[in-house]
Amino acid sequence: MAGDDWLPWIALETIHLGAEAEVISGTWIGRNAVLKRRIPRGYRHPALERNLSRQRIFAEARILVRLCENKVKSPILFGIDPEEGWIMMSRIEGPTLAQVLQKDSDYHMEHKLGQAIRRVHSTGISHGDVTTLNAIWSDDDVIMIDYGLGRLVAEMEHFGLDLHSLHECLSAHHVDRPESMKRVLEGYLDDSASDNFDARAVVDRFEAIRGRVRYHA
């Protein structure tokens, strides 16, 4: 069973236990790996739960494959079992950006975060849960993880919502870094990417979403 020790997977420790999934670190054929196992929700009909679990696992797997094909730094897909409800991928080594931002006063990491989000968006993928906990600081760069709520065929609104999700995270958890979102957007708009992606349109949509939220608050 996924999560227990079985060759070639060796489970080491649970690194996250949420409402929707348990995330376990371990090794797979000697490689550092992460296994995400979905937790059934008791209030859902079993058939609905199975279908939802399968859909999300397949979606995350396809997202990881597309990111790899487009040479966007991300976890590498090792395997899935939609029936058992798990997905296995490589582990990205390094602290979360949430941890690093507590110690570093330089804003270059936020610039890197903006660039990382743009790289993901330029492949047509929205992340769905952009926070500093889902961003790893590795080799002087930012790598996004946890695409469980991502969309493979995203629309402009989804890209804007990704930026808004991050804005909410920074406002709530990194209040001592008032320039953070500004630096993120500078990185997102960095033209050095040369990817023909309309980043300005996404930022405009983000600003429109912020306006709607303020209006309804």
- pLDDT by residue (tens digit) across 113-158? 999 999 999 999 999 999 999 999 999 999 999 999 999 988 999 9
H/E segment holding residue 80: strand 77-81
Given a contact cutoff of 8 angstroms between Cβ atoms, the answer to whether 154 and 124 are in contact is: yes
Mean confidence (pLDDT) of the chain: 91
Q: In CATH, what class is 9-90?
A: alpha beta
CA-nearest of 137, 130, 144, 145 to 106 is 137
Cis peptide before 40 (omega within 30 of 0): no
- The one catalytic residue in 129, 141, 190, 195 is 129
CA atoms within 13 A on the CB side of 148: 20
Is 129 in the active site? Answer: yes
Fold of 97-216: Transferase(Phosphotransferase); domain 1 (1.10.510)
Q: Is the pLDDT of residue 172 over 60?
A: yes
Instruction: Check residues 1 and 40 and name the one with the higher pLDDT.
Output: 40
Q: What is the mean pLDDT of residues 18-34?
A: 92
List 90's β-bridge partners, or say none. Answer: 33
Rounded (5°) CA angle 111-35-147: 40
Query: Residue 142: its pLDDT value, please?
Result: 98
Q: Model's pTM, two decimal places?
A: 0.91
Q: What is the mean pLDDT of residues 173-182?
A: 94
Confidence tier at 199 by pLDDT (50, 70, 90): very high
Ranges in the chain annotated CATH 1.10.510.10? 97-216
Q: What is the mean pLDDT of residues 100-113?
A: 89
Q: What is the mean pLDDT of residues 10-25?
A: 91
Sequence-distant contacts of 36-39: CB under 8 A, at least 24 apart? 36/86, 36/87, 36/88, 36/89, 36/148, 37/2, 37/3, 37/84, 37/85, 37/86, 38/85, 38/86
Crossing angle for the helix pair 156-173 and 180-188, to the nearest 10 degrees = 150
Task: Specify the length of the chain in residues.
Answer: 217
Ranges in the chain annotated CATH 3.30.200.20? 9-90
Report d(CA 126, CA 149) in Å as an integer.
Answer: 9
